[in-house]
Amino acid sequence: MNDQQYEELCRYFLAHKLEMDVERIRSVRIPNPARPGLPQYQHQIDLYWETESSLGLYLHIANAKWRVSDKVDQGELLLLQQVKQQVGAHKAMMLTSMGFTAGAIAVAKDQRIALHIVKPNFEVSMLTAQDRSGIQANLMRIASASSQPIFSHEIVHKAFDFREVAVQGQFSIPGPGYATKIVSGYETKMEGGYAHKAASSGDGSGSARTQGGSPETKSGGAIRTK
């Protein structure tokens, strides 16, 4: 199997898992935002697809790495994360046939990049076509004649659930819980006699006072968002 054939297998795999037409998962080149005086360049995206809900449009990208022996390493995950930021993608995924090093997995967990091992589950010599449409036609024919999936799949790091992007075209990612608190014990002064102070009482509740003459405004308690 060559790189192009593996990319098409991954395109088929994604379309199967996401329950969408394979044509919706494209290979594109996205120009980097131009800056005055700097040369223009493009980002080559192996697999690119969009999902839409009633609230917005979401962009996903994936990189397909066919490997015979070497695992995907840390630098390749860092590069994918950089491309994700540059093109404004909401989610990124790395697909490979051999696995990932410990450094690559560490980056994926930190940056929330999904990691999947996808391998062909058929005799690869059956893929005789070299063009993308011909390879997809081969894959469809092999799949229709097979009683089992034409790929094997192993989840290494599940940064998001396929069901969250596939069911009825909806997309939902639960965010981590977090808390926002008023910081106590600081004072900010401006010209003109204006001072803003925040203090913490002995029972742990915060209070804020704004003075600028009259009137005086007080508020108590900590703002917490979960």
H or E stretch including 109?
helix 102-111
Burial of 166 (0-12, 13-18, 19+ CB in 10 A): middle
| SS3 category, 106 | helix
Q: Which domains does the chain have, with CATH numbers?
A: 3-169 (3.40.1350.10), 186-220 (no CATH)
What letter represents residue 65's amino acid? K
What is the tens place of the pLDDT at every residue in 41-64?
A: 888 899 999 998 888 899 999 999
Question: How far from 55 is each of 49, 89, 91, 162, 213, CA to CA, in Å?
Answer: 17, 16, 17, 19, 45
- Answer with the residue of higher pLDDT: 129 or 181: 129
- Burial of residue 198 (CB within 10 Å: 0-12, 13-18, 19+) is middle
Three-class SS of residue 148? coil
CA distance 186 to 204: 16
The residues, ordered by sequence, that sit 6+ positions from 180 with a Cβ below 8 Å of its Cβ are 223, 224, 225
Pairing status of strand 114-120 against strand 186-190:
unpaired
Owner of token pair 């840390």: 74
Q: What is the pLDDT, as a whole number, of residue 35? A: 79
Percent of the chain with pLDDT over 90: 55
Mean pLDDT of 70-87: 95
- Assess whether pLDDT exceeds 80 at residue 220: no
Residues 6+ apart with CB under 8 A from 187: 195, 196, 197
Per-residue model confidence (pLDDT) at position 101: 98
- Residue in 156, 153, 155 with CA at minimum distance from that of residue 101: 156
What digits encode the pLDDT tens for the residues 106-125?
999 999 999 999 999 999 98
Residues 211 and 199 sit within 8 Å (Cβ to Cβ): no
Residue 145 has pLDDT above 70, yes or no: yes
Q: Closest Cα partner for 98 from 67, 140, 135?
A: 67
pLDDT winner (highest mean) among 84-98, 122-136, 149-163: 84-98
Question: Over the chain, what is the mean pLDDT?
Answer: 79
pLDDT digits (tens, 9 = 90+) for 172-219: 434 444 444 444 554 544 444 444 444 444 454 444 444 444 444 444
Which letter does DSSP use for residue 43 in this model? E
The CA–CA distances, whole Å, from 211 to 171, 185, 188 equal 47, 16, 11
Angle, vertex CA 64, rays to CA 59 and CA 69, nearest 5: 155
What per-residue confidence (pLDDT) applies to 203?
A: 52
Amino acid sitting at position 58:
Y
**180/225 Cα distance (integer angstroms):** 6
Q: Is pTM beyond 0.75 here?
A: no
